[in-house]
Amino acid sequence: MQFTKAEEYGMLGVLYLSEKELGSITPLSEIAEAKAIPEKFLAKIFQSLSRSSIVRSHRGVRGGFSLSKDPSSVTVKEVLESIHGPYHLIKCTNNTEVCDKAEYCSLRELLSIAEDKLIQIFESHTLADLVKWESNKIASIKS
């Protein structure tokens, strides 16, 4: 399993906003430059995040984006699913009609277990957790 570029860039973008004061507006160009993400691609990703009310779009000369909620209340799962949709490792874990072997397939069973554990991890960690982990790592490297 590998994150798509949209998922990776979306996570990096919201993590950047999570480091800012709640409600502060950050230009998309700043986020894109800070995280080395193509700005047009990030704009499309942030449209999805805005529709899911994870970020808020602000128009005008001083426009940009802000995080809509406290980072401690936004899970990794919420962010990923707002970009990608429901998370599944393979199609048959949520739709047995795509394969005639789905009812007895051991690979489907194994991946279903793995998917459940992965989703539990994504649900149990927030943006604030990731920001804290990163700042702790940076602090330990500098000391």
Rounded to a whole number, what is the largest CA-CA distance in the chain?
58
Q: Are residues 94 and 86 in contact, defined by beta-carbon separation less than 8 angstroms?
A: yes
Residue 106, domain CATH: 1.10.10.10
Count of structural domains within the chain? 1
Name the DSSP letter for residue 106: H
User: pTM for the complete prediction?
Assistant: 0.88
pLDDT mean for each 10 residues of the chain (143 residues): 89 97 94 97 96 95 93 97 86 72 82 91 97 91 84
pLDDT per residue as tens digits for the range 13-27: 999 999 999 989 999
Q: How far apart are CA 77 and CA 39, in angstroms?
A: 23
- Expressed as residue numbers, the domain containing 125 is 5-142
Q: How far apart are CA 126 and CA 52, in angstroms?
A: 16
Q: Provide the pLDDT for residue 14.
A: 98
